[in-house]
Amino acid sequence: MFKGWIATGALALCCMAAPLAETQQKPVDAEGHQWWQHAVFYEVYPRSFADSNNDGIGDLNGIASKMDYLKDLGVDAVWITPCFPSPQVDFGYDVSNYEAIDPMYGTMKDFDHLVAEAKKRNIRVLMDFVVNHSSDQHKWFQDSKSSKTAEHRDWYIWRDGKGNEPPNNWLSTFGLSAWKLDPKTNQYYYHYFYPEQPDLNWRNPAVEKAMLDVTRFWYKRGVAGFRLDAVDTLFEDPKLTDNPVLPGKDKFGRPNMDEKYNKKLPEVHDVMRKLRSTADEYGSVLIGETWTSNVSELKDYYGEKNDELQMPMDLMMTGFKGLSADQYRKHIGAVDAAGHWPVYVITNHDIVRSYTRYADGVHNDDIAKMMAALYLTLRGTVVMYYGEEIGMENNDPKSKDEVQDPIGKLGWPLEKGRDGERTPMQWNDSANAGFSKVKPWLPVPATYETHNVVSEQKDGNSVLSFYRQLLALRHKEPALLEGNYVALNESDPNVLTYVRRYKDEAILVVLNMSATEQKAQFDLSPLGFSSPRLSILLTSFHKPLTGMTDALPMEPYSVFMAKISPTSAGK
Ligand code: GLC
Ligand code: CA
């Protein structure tokens, strides 16, 4: 089946050529792709990345000091979760001023410095735009609640109660009723998240204008785009129809609800289009926090005329239980066939870390490498989460009094909150994993002694070394950048196999998603390769590949990637 094997030599990192401003709206390849289609995005949670002033909390100068690390890893764009002034009730997702930097993270000068340091290395900086709600400490809300006739009254959603009850049965995702009574004017305001996060009224044109202006403010400062927070909840039914109550209770003990009247209303798409046309004025890119239940919903976020989000994240894969080649194959096939540019994610600051979710206690690092190879070799863009590349695991609070995230306080012990996936980046094996000289705001897990940047840089078989090689290939290989996704062996329950194909270039990716060794066989002749030659690009094998006959021995949870070339001139 295979003609021969050639191991390839060292992998070179690709370099972008032209200066940033010039390339921003220009295609970067013959296919007309934009820069973000070739980019690797990396989410930074600023509280936890690097603490430059040793107060236990990460900051912008900390991030700026790690730009060489990010460049070397193969990152092209960083999305920084909110670093605006905030009372930190939801750790920055409660913004009290959209056009400033929280002193805890630094100054506007530090922000400009960060953007400049990034730019020197051809790395773009994206911010997080909390579109659904502000903090209750924002001056807009302070004015809004001051009287029924205040200038900003209608910037939020105020309604009379029903007797002593809230206006309807809508629930806050972080608590009980989504309505809070304000005694001053004896009306309720609506908050889908915490009461300290009142929902903005996007039906008010003044809100829309102010928010679009916020994006312009940052684009002018060199921000390359935004990740849009919680877009599903931008609109509510103006008639306040009760949501249908479903059988059963959720983990907070509340009745299950079909949130049809306060989530994913069609008006959301009007706002996406407006945010997009504003982004287009500056050649910027929009990533969406798009929680969808199927591929069709995900498709909608690109816009009927491709005029909404360039990068709605496919967050569906993060909900898959266990590792099933079949489940991933079906999902990837459907996303890929949907006709848009996919955006894959395996973890973020709201979800248990991928390392922990997939770990089996035996092959943890192998699984981390396998999942990396899975989502980093697909057609599309990826959004990584800091620490994923070193195999960081969750470090959940051990008792309720350790919990910082209010969700954990509310839902303990069934819901421990999101602290576990937000712990400090593990830079080395010194105290606090080298994140800070003082006790950090969240504790690092014990595994920092082995899973940290410095130790893993020295180990050619570490998760980090694997990510670096993978990202280098992803930047260099035309088949990975441009190629179609072609599934092979579609009935194999254990091994996920596919080819990325672009013109004469083809790369075979073989992933053993099972805990036992598998013999992989594949027929490449339908792709026009009757007697192919495979040159190994990357594997995660522990043992050298020897004694190959007609099947490829795949170690448990292993990765095999090879370039396919025809042996003869005929293709
Ligand atoms: C998004 C954020 C999450 C935050 C919520 C409310 O889901 O990712 O961290 O708590 O929005 O802003
Ligand atoms: Ca700090």
Task: Give the separation between CA 510 and CA 135, rounded to whole angstroms.
Answer: 47
Q: How far is CA 195 from the centre of its chain?
A: 26
- Contact residues for 283 (Cβ-Cβ < 8 A; gap 6+): 24, 25
CA–centroid distance, residue 419 to ligand 2 (Å) = 18
List 281, 304, 360, 459, catalytic entry: 281
Whether the Cβ atoms of residue 194 and residue 174 lie closer than 8 Å to each other: yes
Q: What share of the chain is helix, strand, coil (3-state, %, to 5)?
A: 30, 20, 50
- Contact residues for 568 (Cβ-Cβ < 8 A; gap 6+): 531
pTM of the model as a whole: 0.95
Task: Give the separation between CA 107 and CA 59, rounded to whole angstroms.
Answer: 10
Q: Which of 43, 233, 350 to mutate to test the pocket of ligand 1 (most atoms within 8 A of CB)?
A: 350
Task: Give the separation between CA 148 and CA 137, rounded to whole angstroms.
Answer: 18
Give the residue whose CA is nearest to atom 6 of ligand 1. 93
| For the CA of 90, the nearest atom of ligand 1 | 10
Asked if 143 is an active-site residue, the reply is: no
Task: Give the separation between CA 435 and CA 424, rounded to whole angstroms.
Answer: 6
Residue 352 one-letter amino acid: V
Mapping DSSP to helix (H, G, I), strand (E, B) and coil, where does residue 547 land?
A: coil
Q: Which two tokens stand for residue 562?
A: 């090879």
Mapping DSSP to helix (H, G, I), strand (E, B) and coil, where does residue 168 land?
A: coil
Q: What is the pLDDT of residue 20?
A: 40
Q: What is the pLDDT of residue 547?
A: 61
CA–centroid distance, residue 93 to ligand 1 (Å) = 6
Q: What is the pLDDT of residue 8?
A: 36
Q: What is the pLDDT of residue 548?
A: 65
**Which pLDDT tens digits describe the chain residue by residue (571 residues)?**
343 343 333 333 333 333 344 334 789 999 999 999 999 999 999 999 999 999 999 999 999 999 999 999 999 999 999 999 999 999 999 999 999 999 999 999 999 999 999 999 999 999 999 999 999 999 999 999 999 999 999 999 999 999 999 999 999 998 889 999 999 999 999 999 999 999 999 999 999 999 999 999 999 999 999 999 999 999 999 999 999 999 999 888 889 999 999 999 999 999 999 999 999 999 999 999 999 999 999 999 999 999 999 999 999 999 999 999 999 999 999 999 999 999 999 999 999 999 999 999 999 999 999 999 999 999 999 999 999 999 999 999 999 999 999 999 988 999 999 999 999 999 999 999 999 999 999 999 999 999 999 999 999 999 999 999 999 999 999 999 999 999 999 999 999 999 999 999 999 999 999 999 999 999 999 999 988 999 999 999 999 987 666 799 999 999 999 999 987 544 3
Q: What is the pLDDT of residue 135?
A: 99
Whether the Cβ atoms of residue 76 and residue 112 lie closer than 8 Å to each other: no
The single-letter DSSP state of residue 133 is B
Q: Please state the length of the chain.
A: 571
CA–centroid distance, residue 571 to ligand 1 (Å) = 51
Give ligand 1 pocket residues (Cβ under 6 A).
90, 93, 130, 193, 229-230, 289, 349-350
Q: What is the pLDDT of residue 175?
A: 83
Asked if 259 is an active-site residue, the reply is: no
Task: Give the separation between CA 227 and CA 310, rounded to whole angstroms.
Answer: 11
The single-letter DSSP state of residue 200 is B
Task: Give the separation between CA 540 and CA 554, rounded to whole angstroms.
Answer: 10
List 117, 136, 229, 419, catalytic entry: 229
Whether the Cβ atoms of residue 73 and residue 389 lie closer than 8 Å to each other: yes
Query: Containing H/E element for 257?
Result: strand 255-257
- Contact residues for 482 (Cβ-Cβ < 8 A; gap 6+): 29, 31, 33, 502
Q: Which of 45, 89, 91, 93 to mutate to test the pocket of ligand 1 (most atoms within 8 A of CB)?
A: 93
- Contact residues for 79 (Cβ-Cβ < 8 A; gap 6+): 41, 42, 43, 44, 126, 127, 128, 227, 287, 383
Q: What is the pLDDT of residue 250?
A: 87
Q: Which of 45, 90, 128 to mutate to test the pocket of ligand 1 (most atoms within 8 A of CB)?
A: 90
Q: In what order do the strands lie in the sheet with 179-182?
A: 158-159, 187-190, 179-182
Angle between helices 267-281 and 205-220 (to 10 degrees): 30
Closest ligand to residue 228's CA = 1
What does residue 507 show for φ and ψ, rounded to 5 degrees? Answer: -125, 130
Cα maximum dimension of the chain = 83
CA–centroid distance, residue 59 to ligand 2 (Å) = 5
CA–centroid distance, residue 333 to ligand 1 (Å) = 29
